[in-house]
Structure 1
Amino acid sequence: MSAETGAEISVVICVYTEDRWEDILAAVSSVRAQSLTARETLLVVDHNPTLLERLTKEYGEAGDVRVLANAGPRGLSAGRNTGIGAARGDIVAFLDDDAVAERDWLRYFAEGFEDPRVLAVGGRTLPAWASGGRPAWFPEEFDWVVGCTYRGLPRGRVRVRNVLGGNASFRRTAFDAAGGFATGIGRDGDKRPLGCEETEFCIRLTRAVPDAVLLIDDRSVIHHRVPAARERFGYFRTRTYAEGLSKALVARSVGASKGLESERRYTTRVLPSGVARGLRDAVLGRPGGAGRAGAIVAGVLTATGGYVVGSVRARRGGAAFSAGPIGDVDGRAGDVRSTGGEGAAA
């Protein structure tokens, strides 16, 4: 419990594959080692009975860890909604299953909630490259490709449009106001590298609660493992294209004005500076400069292509997702509040 806020924090970790067994154990251990003790850790297993049984055996006698089956459709959004419904804390924090949190991660989250207007606090996610270091061609401006904080985000504790889902926390009342994460938009294991479900949710949240404050505090640090397969340009290209598809769905749901507000600054200011920096490094003979500049250009083009394709699909077939139900402690689906507004999902 936070002495300052009196709030208790539940940590939700969504898991889906036994291939990440050691990562899952490390993630749970990092929560247990926090300087501010979590009320509980919830492991939500995404339609994998073998992993569910194995984790239940591992933590069955532990009072601080609960293992649950995803009560909704396959995918990260429904898994998060299951965790939200089962959580007992006043604040619900999310940690990726292949990440470890630094010792004061939850303490800095709790400090942000001292202000009653704050409904969400996100943190800083650093890449842990499988190869031991950043590939020379990989631009920091695109670290979101591997689920990490990228160059261009503000530093310190600052107000933002949306937090990043793998390292974030919300008041429970945020879900009472805005419903759950949208299903059909986020990840489904490694099969569909979409994203943006937290962006769409945060925009819905601030529409439902116009005076809500959402923060990022870069002292709340986690380290996110980046496997070798995600250090390759093929994955970079696939993920940026999928981001374009996802942004089209977000724009369809909440309108392009809010859905692309931050992205306009990113593409008109941050990325051109990154290209210039890469070209300058190339002229100075520094390794990877030309590659980074080229990757930024390629990333913009593939994301734009994905956005165009996604927009056409959305116009033809309507929004392909909806705000997911919040499952209760027993795994039953509860209702979510409808959030109207421009382009809201049906």
Structure 2
Amino acid sequence: MSAHAPHGGVSVVICVYTEDRWEDILAAVSSVRAQSLPALETLLVVDHNPALLERLGKEFKESEDVRVLANAGPRGLSAGRNTGIAVSRGGIIAFLDDDAVAERDWLRHFAAGYDDPLVMAVGGRTEPVWASGRRPAWFPEEFDWVVGCTYKGLPRGKVRVRNVLGGNASFRRSAFDAAGGFATGIGRDGDKRPLGCEETELCIRLTRARPDAVLLIDDRAVIHHRVPAGRERFAYFRTRVYAEGLSKALVAQSVGADKGLESERRYATRVLPAGVARGVRDFVLARPGGAGRAGAIVAGVLTTAGGYALGSFRARRTGATFSVVEIGAAEGGGGPS
């Protein structure tokens, strides 16, 4: 595997929004600095938090490899990412969650995927780091996406996928030239309802703009994502899966239910029933958490379906939509195209 920086280098974008994650942010930056393939730059994009912007500016004032900048668009993760893309200098842009740390070869594995000129995106594997020290007995691996992690049912190895997962992903710069940036009005917005799916919508839009585009997941590109205690509770689980249903309804409205729910159909008809069966088996064998995992899967499916139904109804009634930013135009002050 080549050790040189490919295609003009890799820019890493970390979107941040709260001082509560100060130590996590510093750990994320340190993990980028320790990469075996050095990043061209690390961009810390602060989401409408002047105090955090000032504090990070002072922390990295003398830094040559870290830039701190304000989200130039509306509040939310999508606009923050678009800001980072617009001002970045690399031919590849990688995204890392602000409460995650990357393993040493994370960028090296990402970069290797782009040796194929048709590859437009490469994602990795995200492992949970539970605040309590271990996975809650009731929490099914099939729903690890609830806490931003790779879930049971995703293919292993280096494989082609419909979409990458946004907290551990990279894109070729020309992907944004072809498809525009992340859609605003669909993903997370600070402490509001934990919506998502912005990377799914972008990836589907990208493959429509570039039918020859290849999107990969390479599970050797590993990050470790902290799961706070509040997200280990069933109340958060229920809120998050409901929000996912709402988000999926927006995506289906935008790109059509055929593409918007293509992967979800396999997940719901194969992966989840197998998970319920394992939970029931574990319960029969008196293994801890079996009944809880089976019940959580059933509750998760029903709650997600409820969110999707309500989201679809609202979208049809109101014509709800979201906007797609042309990177290098209004957002981010006119970065490279």
What residue number does 2:204 align with?
203
Q: Deviations over 1:193-218 (max 9, x none)?
A: 00000000000000000000000000
Q: Is the 8 A contact 2:84 2:332 kept in 1?
A: no
CA distance in 2, matches of 1:124, 1:187: 21
1:223 aligns with 2:251: no
1:128 aligns with 2:129: yes
Percent identity, aligned pairs only?
81
TM-score, with length taken from structure 1: 0.94
1:330 is displaced (CA, Å) by: 8.9
1:163 aligns with 2:164: yes
Q: Is the 8 A contact 2:87 2:336 kept in 1?
A: no
Structure 1 pair 321–335 and aligned structure 2 pair: CA distance change class (3 A): farther
What residue number does 1:342 align with?
none
What residue number does 2:110 align with?
109
For 1:199, the aligned partner's letter is T
CA distance in 2, matches of 1:198, 1:126: 19
Structure 1 pair 150–330 and aligned structure 2 pair: CA distance change class (3 A): closer
1:189 is displaced (CA, Å) by: 1.7
Equivalences for residues 1-346 of structure 1 within 5 A: 2-3=3-4, 5-326=6-327, 331-332=332-333
Q: Is the 8 A contact 2:123 2:168 kept in 1?
A: yes
Q: Deviations over 1:17-61 (max 9, x none)?
A: 000000000000000000000000000000000000000000011
Unaligned runs of 5+ in 2: none
How many residues are paired up?
Answer: 336
For 1:114, the aligned partner's letter is D
SS in 2 for 1:326: coil
1:326 is displaced (CA, Å) by: 2.8
Q: Deviations over 1:284-316 (max 9, x none)?
A: 010000000000000000000000000001001
What is the RMSD computed on CA atoms of the aligned residues?
Answer: 1.7
Q: Is the 8 A contact 1:99 1:223 kept in 2?
A: yes
Q: Is the 8 A contact 2:87 2:333 kept in 1?
A: no
CA distance in 1, matches of 2:38, 2:329: 24
Q: Is the 8 A contact 2:246 2:312 kept in 1?
A: yes
SS in 2 for 1:127: strand
Structure 1 pair 8–334 and aligned structure 2 pair: CA distance change class (3 A): closer
Structure 1 pair 206–6 and aligned structure 2 pair: CA distance change class (3 A): closer
* Greater than 3 Å deviation, 4+ residue runs: 4-7, 327-331, 333-336
1:2 is displaced (CA, Å) by: 5.0
1:165 is displaced (CA, Å) by: 0.1
CA distance in 2, matches of 1:292, 1:75: 32
1:320 is displaced (CA, Å) by: 2.7
What residue number does 1:344 align with?
none
Q: Is the 8 A contact 1:130 1:228 kept in 2?
A: yes
1:327 is displaced (CA, Å) by: 5.2
CA distance in 2, matches of 1:4, 1:75: 30
TM-score, with length taken from structure 2: 0.97
1:333 is displaced (CA, Å) by: 6.2
CA distance in 2, matches of 1:177, 1:327: 12
Unaligned runs of 5+ in 1: 337-346
